[in-house]
Structure 1
Amino acid sequence: MRRLLPVPPLLGLVLGLAGWAPGFLLGAAPVLGFLLWDMAQSLRRGAFGLDAIAGLAMGAGLAMGQGLAACVVALMYAGGQFLEAHAQRRAGREMAALLARQPRTALRDGPDGLEEVPISALRPGDRLLVPRGAVLPVDAVLEDDLATLDESALSGEAMPVRHAAGDALLSGATNAGDAFRCRATTDAQASTFAGILRLVRAAQEARAPMARLADRWALGFLLFTLALAGLAWAASGSAERALAVLVVATPCPLILAVPVALMAGVSRCAALGLLVKSPAGVEALARIRVVVLDKTGTLTRGAPEVDPAADREALRLAAALDQGSTHPVAHALVAAARARGLALPVPAQFTETPGEGVAGLVDGVPARAGGAAFAGVPPPEVPPGAMAVSVSRAGAPLPALLLHDPLRPEAADTLAALRAQGVRRFVLASGDAPGPVAAVARALGLAEWHAAMDPAGKAALLPALRADGPVLMLGDGVNDAPALAAADLGVAVAARGAAAADAADAVLVAGGLRPLPGAMRAARRAVAIARQGVLVGIGLSALGMVAAALGWLTPVQGALIQEGIDVAVILNALRALNDGGTPTCRRSSASPSSTTTRTSP
């Protein structure tokens, strides 16, 4: 509806200026009707905006036979509505494409064999086949001997988790191994994943809606306008002077300049790699003073990597064997060996024991890689947050290979850049174990951290943090979704769960953190330009209102002058498309601050 709103006043102006006087009425009346309906909806929600002045000007113009003035005001108002709708529609299209990857169906083992059914059709007791890479749609019990799941989106655990027959499996986990069969224990509505989504909806409903920048000026400007119009009418006895004041007062510097500047901010943020869903998100990003951070997949890569100090021969043997495996750890070992330039011979007599390891002949010598018992070696010492792959050659042990979830290379630079922009407080909140969380906090100089947090616990952190200013939540998994929805601004890393992207107000579409500081700078510039347009535009309008009150301007002249003011503030607002050369994140020369560890109960 808002996209088509400028059509009637444009058509009305053409018909009216061509000599058909009722054209002005036909152009302004539909816009006035829409405005009155929109005002009624806003008042029902307890909101009040400057649109009321535009409504008064249109209504008074039509009532007093000043159709041209009313039609010009209608066009200005409709233009502002079109610009806001355009910004929101653009962001909505991008989000629809991003979230289209979310699975909607499951493979159910029925009387006639496997059938693909909607997730809503699943019932407790249904037997399911979960292919490699698929998301478990409902809570279930494993029926096969082994399943390897990526549970990082749920718990923050970066390494794949192995489950045996009879283990309970949580919906929302991703199958990181071979296909397996399980039996559903819940339907889709009662699953763990659905419970998290209900938390998201509750958080969204509980969060107070953000007032538009323009609406914060509404009451004072409306009272000033009515007082001046009434004074002009009383002093002169001319209702036309009062109408001229209302026309000049139509707050198009607010109705137009603010959405244009914020829409430009949305475009600039998108160019930098942050997709903001609405102009209100740009306003929120500009005010952020506290940042809450998830760990796995947000500050870290969220996938296992081989320790750089790994023994080359052990890595060569393990990677040679793992060329025939599809396990995510095998992929990490092969990638690490190739990155080091190691030649990987094709193994002979290759075998893979699910959940245990791989074996075969490498260069004609028996070799094994996997668990310590499978490799036939003593269990190695494993640091917190890491996992080990034991390797043996002809029965003799080789140094174990350690895998860990490394920090994103841009994490430290990103936090330093956010600090430089005025973020006062950083809090690390993770579902992972205390050891890995503490290690990441120390590495990044974060004084506050919380470990072993469930989705509700993360969301419960936010109210107390608002004492230091508006809060941004940065996360990537299903377990972050309630906090993303409850924060003043939720920012999701797009590389992972669609539920997180759906709950968030903005998405880092490139999957990295580097765009965030530049987007925050662009948002602050856009809001500053919007405020500048408001102050300058309203100042010029006030001068015009005084001139109209003194009888120096007719309603039509006032409308044309207001159009000139609009053009000026719109051109100024478009400067937000260029953020003045946002610098890229650079390594901070400051040393990390000392850390004080805090863990949640």
Structure 2
Amino acid sequence: MSGPESTHRPWWLRIRPLVEPVLLAVTVTALFLGCLAWLVGRHEIADGIWVAGTLSGVVPAVVWVVLSLYRGRAGVDLLAVLSLVGTLWVGEYVAGALIAVMLSTGRFLDAAAQRRASKDLRALLEHAPRFARRKAGDAVTVIPLADVAIGDVLVVGPGEVVPVDGRIEGAEAILDESVLTGEPLQVERAIGEPVRSGVVNAATAFDIRATATAANSTYAGIVRLAEQAGSESAPIVRLADRYAAAFLPVALVVAAAAGLASGSWVRAVAVLVVATPCPLLLAAPVAIVSGLSRASRHGVVVRSGGALENLGHAKTLVMDKTGTLTAGRPVVVDVLPAPGYDRREVLRLAASVDQMSPHVLAEAIVTEALAQDIPLSLPVNMIEQPGRGVAATVDGAQVSVGKLSTGVPEAGWARAAVNRASLDTAAIAWVGVDDAVIGAVLLRDPLRRTAPRTMRRLRAAGFTRLVMLTGDRSAPAREVGTVLGLDEVYADQSPADKVAAVRAEREKAVTVMVGDGVNDAPALAAATVGVAIGARGATASSEAADIVLTTDRLDRLADAMDIARWSRHIAVQSAVVGMALSLLAMGVAAFGWLPPAAGALLQEAIDVAVILNALRALRGNPAVGIALPHETEALLLRFAAEHDILRDALSQLRDAASQLDSHRDESAIDALDRAYRFLTDQLLPHEDAEQHDLYPALAAPLGSAEATATMSRTHAEIHRLTDRIGNHLELARNAGAVQLDQLDDLRACLYGLHALLRLHFLQEEENYFTLTDAEDIEAKRTAGQIPPTR
């Protein structure tokens, strides 16, 4: 199978990469050799060389005109042909050679801006299985995938791709369905449940009974959808052609009027020479190529100038959720210990067992424990049950992590954990020691820290409609949509559903689709502009996309949008200014004051001016972005790192409040004391340092100290609530227990401060910390350009 690009490209597009460089070399060489011959006095030879150079430009230009007319467009090439033929007709050979050089240069630059990379979706083919293992009795034979028949029993080994659609037989299966749904969490399929081709066996071997042939299975359908959607992409209309539609008739009328009024067709040719739309042929492609270059420096690979143009006036943005708006991998959001157990000890035991497991949730638990510098023990006698969890001996005790075989305990803390997981749309990993459940670990795929700010930036850049498509369930999808203020959310979407939704949006407006997985590839190809987040190796989506974000950061799309709009603005500005100057020169030439050769040189001067203006696209829009001093960037990094540490400790406030539900004695006072010491020893010094170091440093880049005024007011409230908790602690110590008349206000202070701090952290992270690029700053610090922070 070949991709849509190789199958549907016309012959003239396939040979274009060979013709344009050769044409540029021939015309430049002819102009240069002709000038040398003229300088040594061999004028006839010079004229002959220039004629050859002019003819080398006429032939392909005529072909381009015919092809444009065939597609229903009369573009800038028609004026070039008329001026080239006109210079030969009236004997202005050097002018013809100059025009040929300008024409070939413009086509070469335009090709550089427009040429697309291959869309053959090689990654989809590489992922697709070629063979299957058919089971007959006790014998297993390897057969070609095409030979699989409905009803065959197939064996799928660990790590293998399910070859065809079928139903589970013999034993339950643990599957990684991210290739189809994009969701990072593995799923359990029981005996008799359907399984789709393309998903990966994440545990032990299992059998399936085929319910479809390879050609009619899910994965083959994804490949066909991508091919079909890719072949529907409309050809890019060049920016130059759009402006030429108005410029062409004006030039022809002025040239004809000049020739008829004066009786000299040299004047008409002179008008056509200066009317040759080199500002259109050169300025627009230079601006677009400059935009492509600038985008690449920001980690955005734009595969064609047409994609950059379309991105510049896009109105609808369609996004996948997992890996695009969320991190794409689960993280621990909380550890809930049973009464009498410590949070760190529960996490330590769970991570000690899970460090030997390849499960995606186990990896998240181990990562969280290591981030908190919790020392892990080496487990022995480990047993992993697919779909149930892991059990091992740790420090002489039998520890299990995963699902409960006996049901959720009746204890209040366990029911609260289940309710919390439901409210937070989180997964639960229960932790047991011997026969007792000692805690629960909650995990979820978190929203990207930069996502809210990126959504605001994208709306400011011109997107009027933000839509999310996801294969995830409705509840977490709606939560993400609410937090980000999206206009539409579609949940439980299959790859075919996504393609249909993108097509529907594309019918209403220029539509951009962003995704990061193989399951997104057909939708990316169906959009006007497909954008792939390719940092995690989502090769199929990258192959199907017009734009690839090489870093795992959605905010780069906002950068790409800014670059696209600025590049398009510069391209239009350069073209309009160039055409205005050409119109002025046409008037001068129409009165006979500008012969063709001089007109060609004047046209060259106009070209230089508009190209220099077009190169401004390399610098980017000075009105976009905030320039931060190195010291301010270092402060932002410092406080961002402190947030990551403090956020984990905020749970002490909620723990102290929860303790008050069952205890008011010394244990409650101890929990309250731990929370208060965290506030006074760690949190308040951090907030005070922000107030005195960070906020003044941000005043100048943000334009005013008022930009941080609301955050300063929050700091004051944090101090007030901390003092109030301290007063409650003192009263409880004096009385030997928390008094009844303290409970309501104390709970309100603890829970209120916990919620306030979480919101405050998010506001600072979205409004300030996202102003800097951590990767860039770390590189500068390594190079010694930024001093280390304390």
TM-score, normalisation: structure 1: 0.88
Question: 1:101-500 residue pairs with structure 2 within 5 A?
Answer: 102-103=126-127, 106=130, 108-109=132-133, 123-124=148-149, 127=154, 132=159, 135-136=161-162, 138-142=164-168, 145-164=171-190, 167-177=193-203, 186=212, 189-310=215-336, 311-373=343-405, 381=418, 382-383=421-422, 385-462=425-502, 465=505, 469-494=509-534, 495=536, 497-500=538-541
Match of 2:66 in 1: 40
Q: Which stretch shifts more, 15-24 or 266-275?
A: 15-24
Choose which of 82, 92, 117 in structure 1 pairs with 2:117.
92
Q: Which has the larger radius of gyration?
A: 2
Q: Secondary structure at the match of 1:92?
A: coil
State how far apart, in whole Å, the 2-side matches of 1:490 and 1:258 are.
22
CA contact (8 A) 1:150 1:160 kept: yes
Q: Which stretch shifts more, 150-159 or 312-321?
A: 150-159
Q: Secondary structure at the match of 1:383?
A: helix
- Relative to structure 1, the CA distance from residue 228 to residue 432 in structure 2 (aligned partners, 3 Å threshold; closer, same or farther) is same
- Relative to structure 1, the CA distance from residue 479 to residue 258 in structure 2 (aligned partners, 3 Å threshold; closer, same or farther) is same
Match of 2:750 in 1: none
Match of 2:560 in 1: 519
CA contact (8 A) 2:311 2:565 kept: yes
Match of 1:583 in 2: 625
Gaps of 5+ in 1: 593-601
CA contact (8 A) 2:325 2:451 kept: yes
Q: Secondary structure at the match of 1:446?
A: coil
Gaps of 5+ in 2: 1-17, 337-342, 628-701, 712-758, 763-790
State how far apart, in whole Å, the 2-side matches of 1:569 and 1:153 are.
47
- Relative to structure 1, the CA distance from residue 97 to residue 217 in structure 2 (aligned partners, 3 Å threshold; closer, same or farther) is same
CA contact (8 A) 1:149 1:160 kept: yes
Give 1:269's aligned amino acid.
A
Give 2:460's aligned amino acid.
A
State how far apart, in whole Å, the 1-side matches of 2:129 and 2:502 are.
34
Match of 2:548 in 1: 507
- RMSD of Structure 2 on Structure 1 (CA): 3.3
Shift of 1:471: 2.5
Q: Which stretch shifts more, 35-44 or 535-544?
A: 35-44
State how far apart, in whole Å, the 1-side matches of 2:458 and 2:122 are.
26
Shift of 1:421: 2.4
- Relative to structure 1, the CA distance from residue 106 to residue 326 in structure 2 (aligned partners, 3 Å threshold; closer, same or farther) is farther
State how far apart, in whole Å, the 2-side matches of 1:41 and 1:550 are.
34
Q: Which stretch shifts more, 404-413 or 99-108?
A: 99-108
Q: Secondary structure at the match of 1:529?
A: helix
State how far apart, in whole Å, the 2-side matches of 1:193 and 1:426 are.
28
Report whether the alignment pairs 1:6 with 2:10.
Answer: no
- Relative to structure 1, the CA distance from residue 227 to residue 108 in structure 2 (aligned partners, 3 Å threshold; closer, same or farther) is same
Shift of 1:148: 2.6
Q: Secondary structure at the match of 1:325?
A: coil
Give 2:238's aligned amino acid.
R
Q: Secondary structure at the match of 1:37?
A: helix
Moved over 6 A (4+): 95-98, 110-117, 584-592
Instruction: Give the structure with the higher percent helix.
Output: 2
Q: Secondary structure at the match of 1:473?
A: strand
State how far apart, in whole Å, the 2-side matches of 1:131 and 1:29 are.
65
Shift of 1:175: 4.1
| Matched length | 587
CA contact (8 A) 2:174 2:386 kept: no
CA contact (8 A) 1:368 1:374 kept: no
CA contact (8 A) 1:376 1:395 kept: no
Match of 1:596 in 2: none
State how far apart, in whole Å, the 2-side matches of 1:307 and 1:170 are.
31
CA contact (8 A) 1:68 1:556 kept: yes
State how far apart, in whole Å, the 1-side matches of 2:549 and 2:147 are.
33
Give 1:37's aligned amino acid.
V
CA contact (8 A) 1:107 1:114 kept: no
CA contact (8 A) 2:506 2:527 kept: no
Q: Secondary structure at the match of 2:247?
A: helix
Match of 2:605 in 1: 564
Once the two structures are superposed, what CA deviation does each residue of 1:156-214 show, in whole Å capped at 9, x if it has no partner? 44411123455433233344445666676655543322323333333344454442211
How many percent identity over aligned positions?
41
- Relative to structure 1, the CA distance from residue 327 to residue 342 in structure 2 (aligned partners, 3 Å threshold; closer, same or farther) is same
Shift of 1:458: 3.0
Shift of 1:261: 0.2
Shift of 1:25: 2.7
- Relative to structure 1, the CA distance from residue 579 to residue 303 in structure 2 (aligned partners, 3 Å threshold; closer, same or farther) is same
Choose which of 60, 68, 71 in structure 1 pairs with 2:97.
71
CA contact (8 A) 1:317 1:362 kept: yes
- Relative to structure 1, the CA distance from residue 418 to residue 57 in structure 2 (aligned partners, 3 Å threshold; closer, same or farther) is same
Give 2:422's aligned amino acid.
P
State how far apart, in whole Å, the 1-side matches of 2:164 and 2:97 are.
57
- Relative to structure 1, the CA distance from residue 136 to residue 23 in structure 2 (aligned partners, 3 Å threshold; closer, same or farther) is farther
State how far apart, in whole Å, the 2-side matches of 1:541 and 1:480 are.
46
Match of 2:652 in 1: none
- Relative to structure 1, the CA distance from residue 140 to residue 84 in structure 2 (aligned partners, 3 Å threshold; closer, same or farther) is farther
State how far apart, in whole Å, the 2-side matches of 1:181 and 1:45 are.
54
Shift of 1:503: 2.7
Higher relative contact order (Cα pairs below 8 Å, separated by 6+ residues): 1
